[in-house]
C-alpha cells in the first residue's frame, strides 16, 4: 500500500509538472523543445493521410449505399457484432415487380413476355450490384478502416507519449536553470545579515534566503541527472514515433493496391451490367417495331442508347403468304415443329398467343378453317394463324 501511494504521488507530481510546463509555454514564459523538420513533415503527412482516408471512406460508403438510414442500420449491426439481414436491393425489387406484372398480363402476350425478360435482367443487375458492393467492402473499405482503427491509433498513442516526454524534458531543463540560478544567488548571501538597520536588513536577508532555498529544492547534480534521463527517454520516443510515421509510406502502397482492386471490381461490374443490357436489347429487338420503339420518337433514336445494335429478324414470308410446307401439313394429321415468324396476340381463349422466333408444335385438325392450325407450347394449346408460321424439317 505504501508503494502504491508513493507511485500515485509521483504520477500526480509528474502530471502537475507537465501542466505547469504546458501552461507556461502557452503564455510564452517557458522555452519549448522543437521537433526536427523531418519528424514534423512526417506528422503532417500522417494527419493528411488520416483526413483523406476518412473522407474517401465516407464517400465510398455513400456511393455503395446511397440510403443514409440503411447505412446507419448496417453501422449499428456492425457495432453490435450481428449479421446484417439480407434484403433485396432496388434492382431486384424492380425486377420482381416486372416479373409479377408480366405474369399478370400473360407470358404469352408480347408485353407480358417483355416485362418478364426485363425483370429477369433487373434481378441479374441487382445480383451483380451485391457482388460489387461485397467486393468493394472487403478489398477497399476494410483495409482503409483497419488503417484508421489500427495503424493510426497506434501512431496517435505514440505521438501523445512523445508530447509528454517533451514536456518532461522541458520541465527538467527549467529545473536545471533554477538550480544554477539558486547556486549563484547562494554564493552572494553571507552567513550573517549585512550591516545597516537591523530590522530591515534581517527581513531582506530572510526573504532572499527563502527564495534561494526554494530555487534549490533540487540540487544542480540531481537536476542534471534528471535532464539526462528525460533527454534519453525523449530521444527514444522520438525514434519510435519516427519509425511508425515512416510506415505510412507502406500504408500508401497498400492503399494503392486496394484502389486497383476497387477499380477492377468497378470495371467488372459495369462490364457485366453492360452485357446484361445488350442481351436484353437483343431479346427485345426480336419484337415488332410497334412493340419496341417509342411512337413519339424517331425510330432511329431507339438504338442510340447502346452502340451494339440488336439483330433484326428478316422473314422470308409476309402475313397472308403461306409456306408451301405448311400447305402440305393441312392434309397431314401428324404433329410438326414450326418456327413463329411474328408476334401474335390471341383474340380469344381458343387461340394461342405467339412470340417471334419461338418454336411450337402444330398439327392439322379435321374441320378447322384452312387458315388455322392447332398449336401447342408446353401445356398451352390453341389455334394459331398459319401465315405466321414456318415449318421446320
pLDDT at 326: 55
Q: How far is CA 253 from CA 40, 50, 143, 250, in A?
A: 21, 15, 12, 5
CA 377 to chain centre: 48
| In the predicted structure, residue 41 carries a pLDDT above the cut 90 | yes
Where helices occur in 189-219 by DSSP H, the ranges are 198-215
Q: Kindly state the average pLDDT of the residues 293-319.
A: 42
pLDDT at 364: 87
Closest among 353, 388, 354, 348 to 371, alpha carbons compared = 388
Closest among 185, 203, 184 to 194, alpha carbons compared = 203
Give 23's contacts (C-beta < 8 A, 6+ positions apart).
Answer: none
The partner residues of 376 in beta bridges, in order of sequence, read 361, 381
Whether this prediction's pTM lies above 0.85 is answered by no
Closest among 234, 219, 210, 243 to 21, alpha carbons compared = 234
Cell numbers 527514444 correspond to what residue?
Answer: 236
| In the predicted structure, residue 80 carries a pLDDT above the cut 70 | yes
pLDDT at 336: 87
Radius of gyration of the chain (CA): 43
| In the predicted structure, residue 214 carries a pLDDT above the cut 60 | no
| In the predicted structure, residue 79 carries a pLDDT above the cut 60 | yes
Looking at per-residue confidence, does 99 or 219 come out higher?
Answer: 99
Give 309's contacts (C-beta < 8 A, 6+ positions apart).
Answer: 285, 303
Amino acid at each position: 500500500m505504501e508503494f502504491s501511494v508513493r507511485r500515485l504521488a509521483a504520477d500526480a507530481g509528474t502530471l502537475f509538472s507537465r501542466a505547469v510546463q504546458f501552461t507556461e509555454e502557452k503564455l510564452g514564459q517557458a522555452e519549448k523543445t522543437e521537433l526536427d523538420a523531418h519528424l514534423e513533415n512526417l506528422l503532417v503527412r500522417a494527419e493528411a493521410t488520416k483526413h483523406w482516408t476518412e473522407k474517401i471512406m465516407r464517400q465510398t460508403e455513400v456511393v455503395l449505399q446511397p440510403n443514409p438510414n440503411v447505412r446507419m442500420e448496417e453501422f449499428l449491426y456492425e457495432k453490435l457484432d450481428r449479421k446484417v439481414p439480407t434484403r433485396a436491393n432496388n434492382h431486384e425489387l424492380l425486377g420482381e415487380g416486372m416479373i409479377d406484372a408480366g405474369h399478370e398480363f400473360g407470358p404469352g402476350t408480347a408485353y407480358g413476355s417483355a416485362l418478364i425478360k426485363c425483370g429477369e435482367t433487373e434481378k441479374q443487375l441487382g445480383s451483380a450490384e451485391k457482388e460489387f458492393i461485397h467486393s468493394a467492402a472487403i478489398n477497399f473499405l476494410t483495409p482503409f478502416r483497419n488503417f484508421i482503427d489500427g495503424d493510426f491509433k497506434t501512431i496517435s498513442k505514440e505521438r501523445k507519449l512523445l508530447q509528454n516526454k517533451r514536456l518532461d524534458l522541458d520541465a527538467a531543463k527549467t529545473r536545471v536553470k533554477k538550480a544554477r540560478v539558486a547556486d549563484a544567488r547562494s554564493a552572494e548571501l553571507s552567513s550573517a545579515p549585512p550591516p545597516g538597520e537591523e530590522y530591515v536588513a534581517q527581513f531582506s536577508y530572510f526573504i532572499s534566503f527563502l527564495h534561494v532555498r526554494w530555487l534549490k529544492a533540487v540540487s544542480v547534480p540531481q537536476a542534471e541527472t534528471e535532464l539526462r534521463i528525460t533527454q534519453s527517454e525523449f530521444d527514444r520516443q522520438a525514434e519510435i514515433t519516427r519509425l511508425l510515421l515512416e510506415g505510412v509510406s507502406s500504408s500508401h502502397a497498400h492503399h494503392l493496391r486496394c484502389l486497383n482492386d476497387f477499380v477492377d471490381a468497378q470495371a467488372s461490374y459495369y462490364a457485366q451490367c453492360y452485357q446484361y443490357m445488350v442481351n436484353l436489347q437483343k431479346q427485345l429487338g426480336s419484337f415488332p417495331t410497334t412493340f419496341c420503339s417509342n411512337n413519339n420518337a424517331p425510330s432511329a433514336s431507339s438504338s442510340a442508347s447502346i452502340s451494339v445494335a440488336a439483330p433484326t429478324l428478316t422473314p422470308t414470308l409476309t402475313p397472308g403468304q403461306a409456306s408451301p410446307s405448311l400447305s402440305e401439313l393441312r392434309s397431314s394429321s401428324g404433329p410438326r415443329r414450326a418456327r413463329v415468324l411474328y408476334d401474335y396476340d390471341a383474340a380469344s381463349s381458343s387461340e394461342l398467343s405467339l412470340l417471334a422466333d419461338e418454336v411450337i408444335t402444330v398439327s392439322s385438325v379435321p374441320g378447322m378453317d384452312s387458315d388455322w392450325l392447332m398449336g401447342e407450347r408446353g401445356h398451352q394449346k390453341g389455334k394459331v394463324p398459319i401465315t405466321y408460321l414456318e415449318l421446320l424439317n
